[in-house]
Structure formats: C-alpha cells, structure tokens
Amino acid sequence: MGYDLIIRDATIVTVDDDYTVLEGQDLAIQGNRIAAIGPTGTLGDAAQILDGRDQILLPGLVNTHTHVGMSYFKATAAAMELFKWLEWGWFYIERMDDDDIAWAAMLACMEMIRAGVTTFSDMYFSEKVIAKAVAQTGLRACLSESIMEPAGGMEMKSTVASQLAYARDFFEAWHGGADGRIQVMLAPHSPYACSADVLTRIAALADDLGARLHIHLSETEAEVAEAYEKWSMSPPAYLESLGLLSQPMTAAHCVHLSDADIALLDRPTFGVSHNPASNLKLQSGIAPVHKMVDREMAVGLGSDGNGSNDVIDILKDVYLATILHAWQEEQQPTRTCLAMATREGARALGLDDQIGRLVVGMKADMILVSVDKARTVPVHHPHDTLALTCHGSDVTTTIVDGKILMQDGQFLTFDAEEVLAQARERSARIFGAPSPVTEL
C-alpha cells in the first residue's frame, strides 16, 4: 500500500539550512517520519492522501514558552506591569484544582493545534495532569513543573521541598512519555523567585537526571536592577556564578541583556525564548533579538501564557518579531522570524535533531496553511506571506508525529465541544470572586 500518508501538490517551505522552497511537490510520511519528498505524482501510493493545492506546507510551529494552566486568563486584564500582574493573578491561580488545570491544558492544546503549534514548552504546576492532556491530544511538548518560593505578596500552598520531589517524580514518570513526544525539563521559575540554595539544588538535580532547565530570565528592568542590588551582578552573571549555565537551558524573555550578558549566554546549550507579545503587553521592553540572531544563538518564539498574551498564535508572534526589531535587510527578517517559529525554536529546546525542518528523516510534525484568501493573495514569496499576512486561523491541517490532529479545521483526537463547555463552567467559578489586588 506504499506510504501511510502523502500530502500532494503543496508549496513546501522546508526551513532547512538553505531555506529551500519547493513548488508542486509531494511529501510522504511513514510512521512518525518524513519518508520522501518529490515532484507531484512521483512518490507512488499511500493509505491516505491530503490535497495540498493552494496551501503552504510548513514545519509545525514551536511555542518555546507558555503556561497552559493559565488558558482561562485570556482577556482578563489590559496592559499592566509584570509584578502587579503576578500579584493580581496569583489569587486565581490558587483557586484552581488539578481538574481545573487539566481542562485548562486541554483548552490551550486545542487552541495551539488550531493555530498550527505542534510542539510547546510549558512551565506550570501539576504538570502530571498537563502531560495527560499532551498524551490525549497528540501534541509534542517539553513540560516542566515550576519551582518557586513565595515572592512579593504571594503565599504558596506548597513548599520547595515538595516541588522538588514532584519535579523528580514527574521526570521519572513522564520523560520520553506519550510515545516519546514528551521531554521533561526542570523549571526554577526565575532567579528572583528561587533562593541561591534552591537554584543550586535544581542544577544538581538537572545534572543527575540529564534534564534541561527552563527559566524566566531578565524579563524586566526592575528584575535586573534588583539583581544588581542583591548580588551586584546581572541575572545571567548570577546564574553563571551558581553553575546553572553549565546545564542545557531554555530561558524565556531575555529582554534586558547587556552585550556582556549576551556574550555570556552565547553557548551551544543555551536557548532563548523570545515572547514579543507578552513583553509588549506587560510593558517589559523589547529584547535585543537581532544581536542574538547575529551571533547565531538559538532564538525561538514563545506565546507566554494566555494571561500575558491573550491568544496563543505563534504566527502573530512571527509578525511582531518581524516588525519589532532593528533588522538589517541582509538579516532577511521574514525568513529569520519564520525560522524562529520552527527550526530555531526546536534548537532552543534541544530538539533540532528531531523537528523544525521538512527534511527526509525528520519527525513528521507539519502544518498546512491556506493562502487563497484576500488577506494572503498574491503570494510573491511564501516566507513573506507567512510572516506578514498569515494568522493561526489560516492553518487547515496539523500533523504531529505522523498523526493528523486537525484536518480542515476539525479536531480528531478529542471532543472540542466538551473542552469549551468545561472551560466556560470552570472559569466562571474561578473568576467568580474578585482578586484582593485591585490596584493595577
């Protein structure tokens, strides 16, 4: 019977190292891998054929930083500064139980599949229930249990000791889980929300387990100023002084970095998650992304949680990254930012040997994007069209590990109506009482 699946006659945006674009080609999938790419009609037969005409076939989008447990927080607050927002939101976070988080994760997974995200990197609480949502929906994910101590006005139900024990247990139970689609990381929330002792204990645990670290880093000017006050050095220098940068790490935000910080972080094991929409909404600033890209550092894109971005639509973040930075023309911003959402995002998570490019042998994570509407016609060049005109809603089909999760906008792995109903009911209860923090 030939291949399992062939996508026929699409424009293939490979995002390989040469940014090759192939017109009128077929791509064949066998099991969970890309088995062949060739001119339309030359690859033989398959059990299932998808029509790729008038569509772009693109590597699945990689969302390098989010908090899926916060999907009920979309459109709850207008622009506000990070620390105030955290204080305000903490009240609602503490009102959520594991079932609330499980359905919040399903809602976020549904939103991501709809918008063409095939891999996401999450940091939240109760990651064991989030892992079940990943297993059910069919997505690929890097999951990390947030480890933090009370900061500011927060009070916390759990202790650091219990969080560390949970993180180890979670790693042992789920690393390589869901048929290899789940990678477990360790997540010290940030240099400011963990003591030096806790940071070094997490680094030791990461070393012991061979786990990658996921952290928030240099997100705001206030965070950097506080670091100089407390430790007389920048947050990256502080992490280096504690030995954390010796571990493979993905750091979200990296907005306020000096040139010395960038040089310190420029190492093959370090990945950056650039979150342009979140940084704008929380008035954190604009990350020096063009400088990091110039050094060929691994910079991916992240949505951050729905609370600080409202929607998870990585194509929107591609657009923002394309127009936000002081790019030089030779940096080719549209294709560079598209790579940040695919190949470079994979590299920022340490997954670039598996995903991020449409090349024979890679895992079969890909999306079809329709470009036959007024907003997208004419297509002068697919890279420009994708970066500057496309939205997540233009994605028609989402495939992860060779399996179709969404076809023509229909979800194939779960009951979408139930996810929406649960989200409406549970969020009404959680947000039914006002946060005591009203000064925004």
Which residues here bind Zn ion, judged by CB under 5 A? 304
25 DSSP β-pair partners: 10, 39
Dist CA 342 CA 353 (whole Å)? 12
User: Which residue lies nearer to Zn ion by CB, 304 or 365?
Assistant: 304
Dist CA 2 CA 395 (whole Å)? 27
Q: How far is the CB of 70 from Zn ion (least distance, A)?
A: 9
Pairing mode, if any, of strands 410-411 and 403-407? antiparallel
Q: What share of the chain is helix, strand, coil (3-state, %, to 5)?
A: 40, 25, 35
Q: How far is the CB of 315 from Zn ion (least distance, A)?
A: 20
Q: How far is the CB of 215 from Zn ion (least distance, A)?
A: 10
Q: Are 38 and 22 in contact (CB under 8 A)?
A: no
Helix (H) or strand (E) holding 106: helix 98-114
User: Which residue lies nearer to Zn ion by CB, 4 or 122?
Assistant: 122
| 3-class secondary structure, 203 | helix
User: Which residue lies nearer to Zn ion by CB, 304 or 352?
Assistant: 304
Q: How far is the CB of 148 from Zn ion (least distance, A)?
A: 12
User: Which residue lies nearer to Zn ion by CB, 304 or 313?
Assistant: 304
Residue number, nearest CB to Zn ion: 304
Read out DSSP for 257-268? --HHHHHHH-ST
Dist CA 395 CA 391 (whole Å)? 8
Q: How far is the CB of 198 from Zn ion (least distance, A)?
A: 18
User: Which residue lies nearer to Zn ion by CB, 8 or 216?
Assistant: 216
User: Which residue lies nearer to Zn ion by CB, 5 or 254?
Assistant: 254
For 31, other C-beta atoms within 10 Å of its C-beta total 13
Q: How far is the CB of 278 from Zn ion (least distance, A)?
A: 7
The DSSP letter of residue 440 is -
